[in-house]
Structure 1
Amino acid sequence: MPADEKLARPPASSRAGRWSAQSWFALLLAAMAVLLCLSAVAGAVALQHTAEVSNRLVDRISPARVEGERLESSLLDQESGVRGFVLTGKEEFLEPYLEGQVAQLQAAARIRQLNPGRRLRELEELERLAAEWRGRHAEPMIVLTRTEGPDMVTQARTEESKESFDAVRGALDAYNAAWSRQREAARADLTAARVTRDTVFIVIIGALLLAVVAMAVLLRLVVFRPLDRLSAASRRVTGGDFSHHVDTGGPADLAELARDMEAMRGRIVAELEETRRSQRLLAERAEELKRSNTELEQFAYVASHDLQEPLRKVASFTQMLEQRYADQLDDRARQYIAFAVDGAKRMQELINELLTFSRVGRITRDPVTFGLGDVVAAALRNLSAAIEDAGAEVEVGDLPVISGDRSQFVMLWQNLIGNAVKFRHPDRAPVIRIEAWREGPEWCVSVADNGIGIDARFAEKIFIIFQRLHTRDAYPGTGIGLAICRKIVEYHHGRIWLDTDHTGGTRFVVALPAADEPPAGGEPVPVSAGEGESAPAT
């Protein structure tokens, strides 16, 4: 990623950028709660007003109108009772008059109870006119009829009573008409209250629906759309488009997440660029290594031909000199010739060992799976003459199946077994034991002998090229064998070490990756070595 590349950031000045998604949700929930409370209050007020109007109509105005009709009926009963008594003089005709007075009092009291302060003036005027009719006309005619008989009540007196009661009747009609108008007005108020109530609820429902839609749109614009942009940007980045900037805007927490993702994208781009640079460098190193290997191959060719040819000539012509002029050479000259021939041969041997060491890991073959017992058997065949001369006994246990370069493993075991034969104890015949066991994902193979042993101080030194613990006169060799062994084992991703706890000789342990997984029971699979019995020297 270029050094001057800047992470995209949402504008910090927007309100959405100052508030988090949680704050927006809390705000919208609070707004919805306030709207619901206002709607509940408005609905309650509308319902209460409707109930009040309905209660006033049902509980006060309508009963008062009914009591007005009872009041009218009681007054009419009084008038008809007086008229019947005056005409007939019979006392039973006065019962409606007396009962009407009681009913009048009850109706007036009920009206005052239902509507205190309402229509009291009209009621009092009606009661005054009724009392005046009774006092000036009804009661005197009743007394006159009782004392002097019905015939004494004149027509003129009856007409005066009728005119007086007509005034009562007019006041009564006006009173009832007023209550009728008030009842109709209350009914109109009730209808208006119901219309208002229905309108309020319709408005509440519409406001709630509109609020839900507005909140959904607001959430979509403020929260969900930035979240969708963030998801799309993250999918593009995870899909491999590392050049795409992660820029969403929106709430503060989403913007912060976008900044974190942008920073992560920047780190990925930087690490990807670093990886590509490392790959280019690795390719360059591989090309250099390839050239070096080519040069090594050329050097190996030169070493195996151009360097060894002069050595062979030196040895050959020196031996020819010894043969042709044998009778002219003294013992000192023959010794010098022997030194020259031996030096040339040792130089040839050293060159061959160096070539072998350089080829390990450089000249590669496809790995194959093979039984380690067969490889050990091949190494024993190559060493059969040395084993027979030393009178050595080789015991080979069950060995596993491994994967690798078969020829290199033959060289490995040939070096280890050859060292066991070479560095034998002078007082006893060599006994060499080769065993194997499983330790986790590795096979461990040991080569133990009863030879002169190796001091634990030199456990690492012996694997370094050209390192010798003994003089060439005591034990011949080039000092490269164990270095070749370590290189072969490490090339196959294994380990080799000297077992410093072993006594009575030398014990090398080689750990190699198993060619297959162990069975479910956890025990290693027994494998045949091909040389399962003790292999005596031939």
Structure 2
Amino acid sequence: MTSKPSDSPGAFAGWTTRRWLRVGVTGALVVLAVLGSLGGWAMWRTSQITASLVDRRTPALVASIRLESALVNQETGIRGYGVSGRRDFLQPYTQGVADEQTALKLLRPVLSGDTQALADLAEVERDADAWQKRIGRPVAAAPPAQAAKIAEARADEGKADFDALRRAMARQQARLQDERVAATRELREAVNLRNWVFAVIGVVIVLVAVLVFEALRRGVTGPLGRLGSAARDVAQGGFDRSLVGTGPADLRRLAADVESMRLRLVEELRFSEGARRLLDEQAEDLKRSNTELEQFAYVASHDLQEPLRKVSSFTQLLQRRYGGQLDAKADQYIAFAVDGANRMQILINDLLAFSRVGRVHNEQQTVDLEDVFARALDDLSVSVEETGAAVTHDTLPTVVGDRTQLGMLWQNLLSNAVKFRSPDRPPRIHVGAVCDEGVWEFTVTDNGIGIAPEFREKVFVLFQRLHTKDAYPGTGIGLAMCKKIVEFHGGTIRIDPDYRLGTRVVLTLPALAAATAAPDRETQP
């Protein structure tokens, strides 16, 4: 029988679960084989004794009794014939001779191998044959007149011979009866032994099952349960709990691996805690920086705007009052001052608008882009009419976002498409919308001057201008503001590199619900 794995190092410390199971199963199989052999032997012994009793002892006793009955019938028939001289009195003798032969045929096979029983049978046959020679056959063969004389003359001799035959038959039957009784007693003892053997087998099997269960509990399931409990404690945040392995060698190695993983997690947690503290510090710095930025925006929108308006107002007054009265250089300088003040005011306003994206305007709600697009187009109606631009668009969906920021997005994109038009053809602008896997993809396509490949990324950087202010007015903030708005709404924006007939801006926004694109609808300028 297998023994339980030891929790402490020793001779079996290097045994794995597989080896313990192999040894345990082998031991259990050996015990079961021994028990099975004992049970088989008990069954075989009981079967052998039963077969001997049923096939030999009992049939031998019955055949011996039948033989005795046949011989008695012969003696009766001979005595009757000898006294009466009537032939019909020989019928028991004739039948007895036939029964004798039948009984002998049955008796000899069942007594084969039993020397003493065969010796008794031989004695019976000798005494029967002696009586037959002296009395039976002579009387039976003699005529009725002679039969009586022979019977009378040999009466004493015949009685002595038949008495000897009776004694031989009695000894034979007594010995057969004793053997049958002994076999019956032996069968009873064998049955009792068989029952005890099977009872012991049952008890041993139960003990083996209990020992196997206890060995598995203490050597496998117990250590695994403790390891699992410790691992769950670690998983729930108890990183200071050490994992100590018990049981077979492979379970101890598993516990050591899990302990190593715990130590690695503790180290990573310590590093993450440090990183988190650093991140918190950076967040505080960023919060402080945003506060300073808001203060700067307030100063720019109030304190800087006022002196700038004064400078712009007085330079415009100088231009109106003294324009043409001074020399050309003075008029040029005054014009430079007025233009610089106006551009500075526009730049400050654009910077304020850029800084407010995601900070001031941040009302997340469902926005109908059809309505937002129409308002943006209406704000640009003057430039659209002056340039003769034709603007078409697909049916625009409803998305979640800030209405003001999305209005600024469409206004900047449409304004750029109109502004950077080709001088040799009227502007043609189309806005497309396609929904793909929960994302709306919008395209703003124009037939303008286009963007060189090396500038397709730079146009989204703040203050990146590709042309002089004399050729195309502006501050270089428009597309940077579009990028900031789109990314604030969880989308992306880029320039389509495969489009060559102008510029195609591709942007994405998360979809509120799936929709199909409708046919183009042209908005007249």
Alignment counterpart, residue 62 of structure 1, candidates 51, 55, 58: 58
For the residue of structure 2 that corresponds to 1:513, the secondary structure is strand
Work out whether 1:192 is the aligned partner of 2:181: no
Bigger drift between 188-197 and 119-128 goes to 119-128
Separation in structure 1 between the aligned mates of residue 222 and residue 8 of structure 2, nearest angstrom:
16
Code of the residue aligned with 1:354 in structure 2: it is L
Alpha-carbon distance in 2 for matches of 1:225, 1:29: 19
The answer as to whether partners of 2:392 and 2:429 remain within 8 angstroms in 1 is: yes
Matching residue within 405, 413, 416 for 2:413 = 416
Aligned residue number for residue 375 of structure 2: 378
Q: Percent identity?
A: 45
RMSD, aligned α-carbons: 4.6
Shift in CA distance, 81/282, structure 1 to aligned 2, threshold 3 Å: same
Between stretches 475-484 and 312-321, larger displacement belongs to: 312-321
Distance in 2 (alpha carbons) for counterparts of 1:423 and 1:139: 154
Distance 2:174 2:89 in 1: 30
Return closer, same or farther for 1:285/1:114 CA change in 2, 3 Å cut-off. same
The one of 116, 119, 127 equivalent to 1:118 is 116
| Closer, same or farther: CA 396–89 of 1 in aligned 2, 3 Å | closer
Partner residue, 1:404: 401
C-alpha spacing 1:51/1:332, structure 2 compared with 1 (3 Å)? closer
Amino acid at match of 1:437: A
Aligned-partner SS, 1:369: strand
Measured after TM superposition, the shift of residue 298 of structure 1 is 1.9
2:430/2:446 contact within 8 Å kept: no
- In the superposition, the TM-score normalised over structure 2's length comes to 0.76
Aligned to 1:512: 508
Query: 1:7 is matched with which residue?
Result: none
Within-5 A mapping of 1:148-227 = 166=163, 169-227=166-224
Q: Say whether the 8 Å CA contact 1:47–1:197 is kept in structure 2.
A: yes
Quick one: structure 1 residues 90 and 277, their matched pair in 2 at CA, closer, same or farther if it must change by over 3 Å?
same
Unaligned runs of 5+ in 2: 1-6
The answer for the alignment partner of 1:534 in structure 2 is 523
Distance 2:324 2:159 in 1: 198
Cα distance, 1:101–1:261 mapped onto 2, change above 3 Å: same
For 1:136 and 1:497, the matched residues in 2 are separated by: 141
Contact 2:324/2:331 (8 A) holds in 1: no
Cα separation, partners in 2 of 1:150 and 1:257, compared to 1, 3 Å: same
Partner of residue 4, structure 2 = none
Q: Which deviations, in whole Å up to 9, do the C-alpha atoms of 1:11-38 show, x marking residues without a partner?
A: 67585972335x6666555555545544
Match of 1:487 among 480, 484, 498: 484
- 3-state DSSP of counterpart to 2:513: coil
Aligned mate of 1:330, from 327, 330, 350:
327
- State whether residues 89 and 146 of structure 1, in contact with CA within 8 Å, keep that contact through their aligned partners in structure 2: yes
Residue aligned with 1:509, SS: strand
Partner SS, residue 483 of structure 2: helix
On the 8 A contact 2:451/2:503 being kept in 1, the answer is no
What runs of 5+ residues in structure 1 fail to find an aligned partner? 1-9
> Any idea what SS the aligned residue of 1:438 has?
strand
- Counterpart amino acid of residue 49 in structure 2: V
Alignment of 1:354-503 (within 5 A): 354-387=351-384, 390-397=386-393, 398-426=395-423, 430-440=426-436, 441-499=438-496, 502=499
Q: What is the CA deviation profile of residues 308-334 of structure 1, one whole-angstrom value per residue up to 9, with x for unaligned ones?
A: 444444445555666777797433333
CA displacement at 1:296 relative to structure 2: 1.2
TM-aligned CA distance change 1:119 to 1:239, over 3 Å? same
C-alpha distance after superposition, 1:165-211 (max 9, x if no partner): 65555455444433333332233223223333333333333333443
1:25-174 paired onto structure 2 within 5 Å: 30-31=26-27, 33-70=29-66, 72-73=68-69, 111-116=107-112, 117-122=115-120, 166=163, 169-174=166-171
CA contact (8 A) 1:293 1:362 kept: no
- 2: CA distance between counterparts of 1:385 and 1:285? 47
User: Which structure carries more relative contact order (alpha carbon 8 Å, separation 6+)?
Assistant: 1
Q: 1:75 to 1:278 in 2, by over 3 A?
A: same
Q: CA deviation at 1:293?
A: 0.8
CA contact (8 A) 2:85 2:147 kept: no
Q: Is the 8 A contact 1:400 1:436 kept in 2?
A: no
Question: SS at the partner of 1:49?
Answer: helix
Q: Which stretch has the larger CA shift, 114-123 or 100-109?
A: 100-109
Equivalent residue for 2:345?
348
Give 1:291 shift: 0.6
Shift, 1:161, TM fit = 6.6
Alpha carbons of structure 1 residues 426 and 151: separation in structure 2 relative to 1, 3 Å: closer
Task: Report Cα offsets for 1:274-307 as digits up to 9, x if no partner.
Answer: 5544443333222211111111122223333444
Letter in 2 for 1:476: P
Matched, 1:300 2:297: yes
| Contact 1:17 1:255 (8 Å CA) reproduced | no
